[in-house]
Amino acid sequence: MTVDRDVAHHTALDAQLVEAVGGIKLLGLTSWPAALQAPFLASVARGQPVLPQVDYPKLDFTDTRHRLAAISAQCDPDHPIGLYVQRSAHSWDQAAGLLESLGTAEVDRYSVELFGAPEQPLPGNGPSTRDAARHFIQIAQELDHELLAPEEQVPVSATALQLQLQSDLDAFFESRIISVQLDPDLISKAAAGPNRIRLRTSARFSAYDRAQLFHHEALVHSLTALNGREQPHLPSLALSSPRVTATQEGLATFAEQITGSIDIERLKRISLRTEAIAMAREGADFIQVFRYFCEAGQNNEESFASAQRVFRGVPPSGGAAFTKDTVYLRGLVSVHTFFRHMLAEDRLQVCRWLFAGKMSLTDAIAFAPLFEEGILRPPRWLPHWVSRANGLAGMLAFSLFANRIRMDQLAPE
C-alpha cells in the first residue's frame, strides 16, 4: 500500500530509532552477575553478612543520545507516529542516562522517571502503589493454607516444566515459534525473549508458575514482540521501550488474572518487591532488604534474587532503588481500568490492538486511525482470552457492575 508523506517521514525516523538504541540493554546492563550470590549467602551462613560489591561498566552513550535528540527534533508531535517516536526517543534517552550513572544514586532518579515510585497514586487518584502492595501482603499472610489444593503445593523441576511449557507453546502456535531452554546461570527463575524462554536449571516450579509463564511471558511479552516484527512501518513496536514497561507488565499480569493463573502468593511476591523498593529508598541496605524477603517466607536464594532486583544499578548501601518492579501492580490496575473503559465505550477492538506490538495504552488509542487505514497491521497472534470477545466482555461487564456495590454497607443475612 502507499503511505502519505507524513507517515513515510516518521516511519523512516522510527527505523533510525531502532538502529540507534541497539546498545541500550537496560536490564542486561543493570543486572548483577550470578557469581555474587554464593559469596553473599556464605557470609550469611557465617552470621556475618557482607554487602555485595558490584562492578558496573563505565558507559558512554553520548553519540547515541545526540542521534536520539536529532530524531526527536524531526518529529511532528501533532502526528500520532511523530508523537510516538518522539516519546520513545525521550524514553531511550532516559535509559541511556541511567546506564551512564550505574553504581550511583542518580540511577534512582532516572528509574523513577521511567517507572514511577511506590508512593505514586494508582489511576483515578486512588491509593498509592505501596498501599496496594501492603493490602495484598496482608491478605496473603491471613490466608488459611489448609485451603490450598494438593496440586498447588507440589513443585516440579525445571526439566519437567521445560517439557510441559514447550508442549503448551507448540500447541498454541501450531509450530516451534518459541523454544524453552534451561539456563544454570540465570538469577531469576525465568526470563523471556521473542523466541525463547529460559528457566533456571536449579529452580523448582508450581502449577501456577507454568500457567504464569505461558500467559504472562509467552503470550504477552514474547507474542507482542513477534507481532511487532510483523509491522512493516513501525519496527520499534518489536522493542521493549522503557516507556511501555508499565503497560507491558500490566497487560501480562492482567492476562494472569483473567485466565485464573495468578495466585495470592504471586501477588504477594510482586507486592513484597514494591515494599522493598520503598524501604531501600528510605535507607534500608541490601542486607536489610534481603532479611525482609527472608522474614516474608522466601528462602535464601529467592531472597537474594528478589533483593538484587531492588538494587540493580544503585549502591547496595541504601537510599536508592531500581524502581521497575513497582509497575506490576500499577500496570495491572491501569490495564484493568483501560479494558473496562473500552468496553463502556464499545471499543474493545482497541484492546486487541494492544497486542500488535509493544505499545502504551495511550498509543493504542492514538494508533486507531492507523489500524483502520491499514498502515499498522492487526496482531497476527492473539491470546484466546482476547480473541473471544464475548467472554472478555462478560467478565468486564460484571466487574463494572460489581464496582457499584458498597462493601461497607452490606447488611448481614
pLDDT at 345 over 70: yes
Please give the grid coordinates belonging to residue 138.
496482608
Strands 179-183 and 196-200: parallel
User: What amino acid occupies position 41?
Assistant: L
Cα-based distances in Å from 342 to 16, 339, 364, 394, 399: 33, 5, 11, 13, 13
For the stretch 55-110, pLDDT in tens is 999 999 999 999 999 999 999 999 999 999 999 999 999 999 999 999 999 999 99
Determine the average pLDDT of the residues in 210-214. 92
Q: What is the pTM of this model?
A: 0.89
Residue 117 near residue 327, CB atoms below 8 Å: no
Residue 130 near residue 274, CB atoms below 8 Å: yes
Return d(Cα 257, Cα 313) in angstroms, integer: 31
Return d(Cα 166, Cα 173) in angstroms, integer: 11
pLDDT at 409 over 80: no
pLDDT at 126 over 90: no
Residue 56 pLDDT: 95
Q: Positive or negative CA dihedral for 332, 334, 335, 336?
A: positive
For the stretch 346-396, pLDDT in tens is 898 999 999 999 999 999 999 999 999 999 999 999 999 888 767 777 777
pLDDT at 277 over 50: yes
DSSP string, 316-364: TTSS---GGGGHHHHHHHHHHHHHHHHHHTT-HHHHHHGGGSS--HHHH
Residue 240 near residue 223, CB atoms below 8 Å: no
Return d(Cα 177, Cα 200) in angstroms, integer: 21
pLDDT at 408 over 70: no
Residue 278 near residue 63, CB atoms below 8 Å: no
Q: What is the pLDDT confidence band of residue 2, given thresholds at 50, 70 and 90?
A: low
For the stretch 172-194, pLDDT in tens is 999 999 999 999 988 778 888 88
Q: What is the pLDDT confidence band of residue 262, given thresholds at 50, 70 and 90?
A: confident
Residue 383 near residue 255, CB atoms below 8 Å: yes
Residue 386 pLDDT: 87
Helix or strand run (H / E) with residue 395? helix 389-402
Residue 404 pLDDT: 61
Residues sharing a CB contact under 8 Å with residue 226, sequence separation 6 or more, in sequence order: 177, 194, 195, 238, 380, 381
Residue 325 pLDDT: 96
Residue 140 pLDDT: 87
User: What amino acid occupies position 274?
Assistant: T
Residue 407 pLDDT: 47
Q: What is the pLDDT confidence band of residue 147, given thresholds at 50, 70 and 90?
A: low
Q: Positive or negative CA dihedral for 316, 243, 246, 250?
A: negative
